[in-house]
Amino acid sequence: MERVLETRAGTCILVDADVSEPVDIDWFDPAWWQRRGAVRQQLGGRGQALLLDAPIGELVLRRFQRGGLVARFSSDRYVWQGVDQTRSFREFRLLQRLRERGLPVPAPVAASAKRQGLFYRAGLLTRLIPEARELAGLAEALSLTQWRELAGTLDDFFAAGLWHPDLNARNLLLDAQGRWHLLDLDRACLRAAQVDGTKMRRRLARSLEKLAAPGWRPGFDATLGKDL
């Protein structure tokens, strides 16, 4: 469930219905959290993610940022096509749908879309996945069982129809209980039927080549890489 709020300065905010604390436009402003000493860590990445100590617990704030050549002209502005088509609202709702299916993704808290003429800027707040580490830093040390569990998790997403155009070793996290989680679903979508995950696994392999320490390949090849 969700509720939509309209705030000052032309901003729309989408909030999870279970959040009792009032969520305002300030919640999407890193400087507002910094003035309160509530920024615990900068998590990095193009989205400039921050780990926050919020009134409702530990949250991750991600501001949507462009990559590639287009970022030279506009690093964080997108063409306005209606609030329901904003990247933040779409990702919020996709996360909700995936969680309803029991798939391991972060819990969405709120999304913002601030319109400025023909463009908008966007942000997303999610619950922190505690004690979780990126695949990029773990791959060399993973057991074959852990690789198989990762393969099974990805197969669950593909069976549900998820298409993720940026599956990489930084947006897969392993928590302290040994469960894998998928992050950063900007531009991802749910299709009506099961999808073939071959291209996504190939992209994951390329990111591991760039990011992981030597020695990651055997477990990957034995599980995810059989048909690559």
CB-based contacts of 171, cutoff 8 Å, min separation 6:
182, 183, 184
d(Cα 97, Cα 94) in Å, to the nearest integer?
Answer: 5
d(Cα 134, Cα 171) in Å, to the nearest integer?
Answer: 7
Q: Are 162 and 130 in contact (CB under 8 A)?
A: no
Tokens at residue 36, please? 């309160």
Residues with catalytic function: 166
Which residue type is seen at 164? Answer: H
d(Cα 213, Cα 139) in Å, to the nearest integer?
Answer: 7
CB-based contacts of 161, cutoff 8 Å, min separation 6:
190, 191, 192, 193, 194, 195
